[in-house]
Amino acid sequence: MMTMRPFLALLPLLLSSAGHTQPANFAAPEAPTSQAGYGDDLLPRDEKDRTTLLRTVAFDATVYGMAAYLHYEQLYRQVFDRNSSKHTGFNRFAHERNLAGPDYATFRVPNTDTLYSTAWIDLSKGPVEIDIPATRLKYFTLNIFDIFGNPGNLSNRTVGFEGGRFLLVPRGWNGTPPAGVTVYRAATTQLWILMRAFAQSDAEVRTARAFQDAVRIIAPQGDRAAGGHGEATPPPPAAGAIGYLRALDYLVRTNGWQPGEEALVSRFRPLGIMGDRPFNPDRLTPDMRAAIESGYADALAVISHAKSQLGEPTGTGWMKVNKGVYGFNYLRRSVINMAGLGANVREENASYTTFVDGKGAALDGAASPYTLRLQTPPPVNSFWSVTLYDAKTFALYPNPLRRYLVSDRTKRLKVQKDGSIDIRIQHAPSSDGNWLPAPAGPFFVVIRAYGPKPDMLNGQWLPPPIAKEGDA
């Protein structure tokens, strides 16, 4: 268990937002002080010691970079894989014209409140301009992520409904923006834009589609459809430690790392990354490869087991998810991105997740119907929703009504005279607007509150427990 100690110590931090201040900029890659081979100068000659070191370093490198790798899978599909149905190259949007359903595959745990658009931005050739039109939408955001999953927002909360022109600039850029253009300083060379445009009714969907079409990406001339990136060759994502290290080597060479991480990233050199040449697994002996695979597998197990610790417990079964602010808490960053990409900051979207009822028993549609009684609906400036997901697949649950959420806009939603709302969560069909369909098996529920009011942000409002039939 020695290999797990460096990051097992971080597990308690999954339950806390302390220590998550994000540095303002990332540093460009720096050459390690020693360039001997593939880190041969760092490898013990003793076989047992060498195995221990490689297993430990592989564990640390996996926890550190898993969020970047998960983003890279999406980047490769949209930018580099010309056979992909999602291929656009850099600096172009791929628009989803309909709300997400059970077959949504871009990332896990999608909302079904907004239309999605995605674009990958390349700043290696210079700044890229984003033009956002004025809109009548109830809500929008261009959620901008660096390659490690740290978010920023150009949204109605941060820039208003009048939109504007924004220049995404790479680190170290000291130029002068055009008149009327606001500078947005990017943390890494490669960025992911996840655009959300509110829609529920047919008319709102039409408005959201028009907004999608009106947002413009203006890249350096000749770079709009670029599919390559400088001298580094992007490898296809592949399962296992070797595929992971190929991608991590490319990502760190291309995007760099946070200030203060130089020593940590240099520790990964015995694995064959960030040396004097690109990663080449042929230089690893079978024993070295086995040790690396073991450390990689151990790290994936820890990340997977920690999913249930996402957020801070509220005492009613729900976890308050403080997303999008990680600092140097790499385990938390990996866990949140493993659970689902696109985690936004709480000021934009406050969310709560539960896999259990108020007594701590796992939610299971085969076991009982449930009720979520919202005595006071979530306090928001934009909108709120209660969405159900299959706990086995993390996908929206398919049902005859194609109803995946209950929200403040649900048709025929019954509100009590005192303003409370009873949401019935069950597998058995129902025709009323308060029914949230559940599978005949395990599921989990997410409350999303867009534009949360102070009562939610300061913890005065918390979701009540989900009650099993007969316990309410």
Is the separation of the CB atoms in 217 and 121 below 8 Å? Answer: yes
45-77 burial: b if 16+ Cβ within 10 Å, else e:
eeeeebbbbbbbbbbbbbbbbbbbbbbbebbbb
The per-residue pLDDT for 35 is 41
Q: Please state, in angstroms and rounded to a whole number, the distance separating the CA atoms of residues 338 and 151.
A: 16
The per-residue pLDDT for 467 is 95
* CA dist 467 → 316, 338, 352, 377, 424 (Å): 10, 29, 16, 17, 10
Alpha helices (H) along 215-280: 240-255, 262-266
CATH: 2.30.110.10, 1.10.3360.10, 3.40.50.410, 3.20.20.70. Which one for 22-81+230-308?
1.10.3360.10
CATH code assigned to 94-200: 2.60.40.1610
pLDDT above 60 for 33: no
pLDDT above 70 for 25: no
CB atoms within 10 A of CB 381: 13
pLDDT above 60 for 5: no
Whole-number average pLDDT of the chain:
88
The per-residue pLDDT for 310 is 73
Q: Please state, in angstroms and rounded to a whole number, the distance separating the CA atoms of residues 140 and 156.
A: 6
Question: 346-468: what CATH class?
Answer: mainly beta
The per-residue pLDDT for 22 is 37
Hey, is 196 helix, strand or coil? strand
List pLDDT tens digits, range 371-406: 999 999 999 999 999 999 999 999 999 998 999 999
Q: Which of 356, 348, 425, 9 is nearest to 151 (CA)?
A: 348
211, containing H or E segment = helix 202-214
Q: Which of 319, 318, 88 is nearest to 226 (CA)?
A: 88
Hey, is 335 helix, strand or coil? helix
- pLDDT interval class at 28 (50, 70, 90): very low
Q: Please state, in angstroms and rounded to a whole number, the distance separating the CA atoms of residues 208 and 224.
A: 24
Report the share of the chain in percent with pLDDT over 90: 73
The per-residue pLDDT for 322 is 79
- pLDDT interval class at 325 (50, 70, 90): confident
Residue 119 has φ and ψ, to the nearest 5°, of -150, 145
β-pair type (370-374, 312-313):
unpaired
Residues of the chain with CATH 1.10.3360.10: 22-81+230-308
pLDDT above 80 for 71: yes
Residues of the chain with CATH 2.60.40.1610: 94-200
Is the separation of the CB atoms in 446 and 351 below 8 Å? Answer: yes
pTM: 0.85
Cβ contacts of residue 387 below 8 Å, gap of 6+? Answer: 111, 112, 396, 404, 405, 445, 446, 447, 448
Q: Please state, in angstroms and rounded to a whole number, the distance separating the CA atoms of residues 249 and 237.
A: 12
The per-residue pLDDT for 39 is 58
* CA dist 462 → 29, 91, 93, 319, 373 (Å): 43, 40, 37, 10, 12
Q: Please state, in angstroms and rounded to a whole number, the distance separating the CA atoms of residues 29 and 175.
A: 22
List pLDDT tens digits, range 48-68: 999 999 999 999 999 999 999
Q: Please state, in angstroms and rounded to a whole number, the distance separating the CA atoms of residues 446 and 311.
A: 12
Residues of the chain with CATH 2.60.120.1600: 346-468
